[in-house]
């Protein structure tokens, strides 16, 4: 019988709260689709490695969520790949007294919404293939990391100079 993998992200809160200091580990690999995430940047399973520990205030969930990703370099458009890992530190409370805490609904903590949020926040928006990526030539489109060209890129500068002249005329 196939189990819904999201079930693995549920933690029995009562069991943990009965005795402060009790912990439970949640280690699971999820496909993005399991979390309702449809994002082409994610190239593999999302690794969830968390520990839920109760204290007198609630349940602290900490650990890491990590996933492999792929996206084009914002300067040269080559494929950039990496693994994004984010530290998780969340508090779940019956009566929310901490403004950053999540409420415990019923007897269970459902970690899925928090994991989904971490994944979406951590995906890179505009990565660079390397810090000093030279980008592509605006004239011929050549990748200046691997080749050089003789293009005259001062055309753009002249246009800016013309704009500066206009501004001067205005004043």
Contact residues: Zn ion, CB under 5 A: 73, 75-76, 129, 133, 137, 139-140, 142, 149, 151
CB of 157 to Zn ion, least distance (A): 15
CB of 154 to Zn ion, least distance (A): 12
CB of 69 to Zn ion, least distance (A): 16
SS3 sequence of the chain: CCCCHHHHHEEEHHHHHHCCCCEEEEEEEECHHHHCCCCCCECCCEEEEEEEEEECCEEEEEEEEEEEEEEECCCCCCEEEEEEEEEEEEEEECCCCCCCCEECECCEEECHHHHHHHHHHHCCCCCCCCCCCCCECCCCCCECCCCCCCCCCHHHHHHHHHHHHHHHHHC
- Considering beta carbons, is residue 139 or 163 the nearer one to Zn ion? 139
CB of 119 to Zn ion, least distance (A): 24
- Considering beta carbons, is residue 26 or 76 the nearer one to Zn ion? 76
- Considering beta carbons, is residue 8 or 137 the nearer one to Zn ion? 137
- Considering beta carbons, is residue 16 or 133 the nearer one to Zn ion? 133
């Amino acid at each position: 019988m196939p189990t819904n993998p999201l079930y693995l992200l549920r933690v029995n809160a009562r069991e943990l709260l009965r005795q402060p200091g009790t912990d439970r580990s949640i280690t699971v690999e999820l496909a993005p689709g399991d979390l309702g995430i449809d994002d082409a940047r994610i190239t593999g399973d999302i690794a969830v490695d968390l520990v839920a520990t109760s204290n007198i205030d609630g349940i602290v969930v900490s650990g890491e969520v990590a996933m492999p990703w792929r996206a084009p370099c914002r300067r040269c458009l080559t494929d950039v790949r990496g693994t994004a890992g984010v530290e998780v530190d969340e508090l779940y409370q019956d009566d929310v007294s901490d403004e950053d805490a999540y409420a415990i609904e019923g007897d269970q903590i459902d970690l899925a919404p928090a994991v989904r949020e971490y994944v979406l926040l951590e995906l890179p928006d505009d990565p660079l293939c390397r810090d000093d990526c030279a980008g592509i030539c605006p004239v011929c489109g050549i990748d200046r990391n691997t080749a050089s060209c003789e293009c005259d890129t001062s055309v753009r500068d002249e246009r800016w100079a013309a704009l500066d002249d206009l501004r001067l005329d205005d004043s």
